[in-house]
Amino acid sequence: MHPAGAEIMSESGDTRNSRPARSPRTGRPVSPPSRRPGPLVLIGGAEDRTGEARVLREFVRLAGGLKANLVVVTVATEHPGEVGGEYLAAFRRIGCKDVTRLDIPDRAHTTRPETTARLEAATGVFFTGGSQLRITNLLGGSPVDQLLHRRRGEGLVLGGTSAGAAMMSGTMIVGGASESSPRAGVVEVGPGMEFLRGVMVDQHFTRRGRTGRLLAALARYPHLLGVGIDEDTALIADGPAFRVVGSGAVTVIDLGAVTFNNVLELKDNGHLGICGVRMHILPDGFGFHLLDRTPILPAARQT
């Protein structure tokens, strides 16, 4: 959806005579990015904004510390002034002076020069909570969507809380019943913004009892990893792995090796039978390899 260019090496590994990659859309040469993609900071919601604020401080640190240029995007919420104002106050309390609010109430705003100019200048872009469907509906495929993927490839730090975290995945949980056993029809999914591929994200995970609905979603898409993020907790993805920061935990559910899954046999509300599920509970300081699907223990526990 958002390809990045790279040199095509010969079998010997020599790139002197290789041709640069070209855009499949325009056919023009595409230069490889000069920096590695920026980190993604996915927060499970209800993060501390008035106390130590560890999770938000980590987002600011990654985005440049006190020299960060932050843009708080309120597209997910129908109350941008109230919600955006809370995050402006929180980031300023941390010490970030260059932080502004960007409201995108409709798709027409995604084409405005002032909108794209502010995102081009940012070192960190933060999505508030609200409705993840509003994010995908108003931004999906727009100039802002394309800009954010390009800028992240150049090193932009992208963060989001609650709905702003759920939308990061390629296949997104739109809604569904909390505190439910895994049953067919209890969860609705749709396309996300594809910033973090290969996973499906759920938020407010432990507080709202969402294990059942995440399992129900994964039963239909067992190639994906399920990631449930607790409140006041962040999953920070950088390259092929992520680490956990915050007062809760990140739950990883892996159905890749299941031996039985009856989802194709069920009608709505039928109870799922799934055998061979793997689950990892990862608190602060732990991490996870996304490619080989293995946990990373804190350094002190690896000796």
Q: Which residues are part of the catalytic machinery?
A: 162, 204, 231
CA-closest candidate to residue 44, choices 234, 194, 247: 234
The C-alpha atoms of residue 65 and residue 247 are separated, in whole angstroms, by 22
Within 8 A by CB and 6+ apart from 114, the residues are none
CA dihedral 61→161→212→78, nearest 10 degrees, is 180
Q: Report the 10 Å Cβ neighbour count for 41.
A: 29
Residue 174, both tokens: 């739109």
Rounded to 10 deg, the angle between the 54-62 and 80-94 helix axes is 80
Q: Report the 10 Å Cβ neighbour count for 119.
A: 19
Rg (C-alpha) for the chain, rounded Å, is: 20
Alpha-helical runs (H) found in the chain: 54-62, 80-94, 113-121, 132-139, 143-153, 163-166, 211-220
Residue 300, both tokens: 């002190």
Is the CB of residue 149 less than 8 Å from the CB of residue 38?
A: no
